[in-house]
Amino acid sequence: MIHLSSAAVEELKRLQSHAAPEPPTVRLVVTAGGCAGLRYDLGFAPTLTPSDRTLSVAGLTVMVSPETLAQCEGLTVDYAEDLMGGNFRFTNPLAQQTCSCGGSFSLEAKASAWPQDCTTGQVGQ
């Protein structure tokens, strides 16, 4: 199950409302990338692929691939605004490690010195 906070639902619906003529479906994908190895990609897609799973979350339809769903069981998505702007924030109980900026995660614990500067790839002092 994937959980969306009320703030995340409100922001996704706001973003959907700008699409014309028909609001696209929310798509959550986990891809390779970031300091920790995997990153979230939350966006919109006009159509389903045959293997997609659809979840109804707080009145929104969310599409995920079976692979993504397996990596995100229990995931909570929140949205918050601060002085740096607005961001979706992901809390994944399956993550064994996250980078210091919170933009990527790993499902395996790695022997590494963290936090790491995500902009340079250098381990912090």
Residue 120: pLDDT over 50 = no
pLDDT at 125: 37
pLDDT at 28: 93
The total of structural domains in the chain comes to 1
Residue 85: pLDDT over 80 = yes
Which range marks the domain in which residue 93 is found?
3-123
Q: Which two tokens stand for residue 15?
A: 């973003």
pLDDT at 11: 95
List strand residue ranges (DSSP E) for 11-113, in order.
25-32, 38-45, 53-57, 60-64, 76-82, 85-91, 97-98, 104-106
Domain CATH number, residue 63: 2.60.300.12
What rounded mean pLDDT belongs to the chain?
83
pLDDT at 111: 56
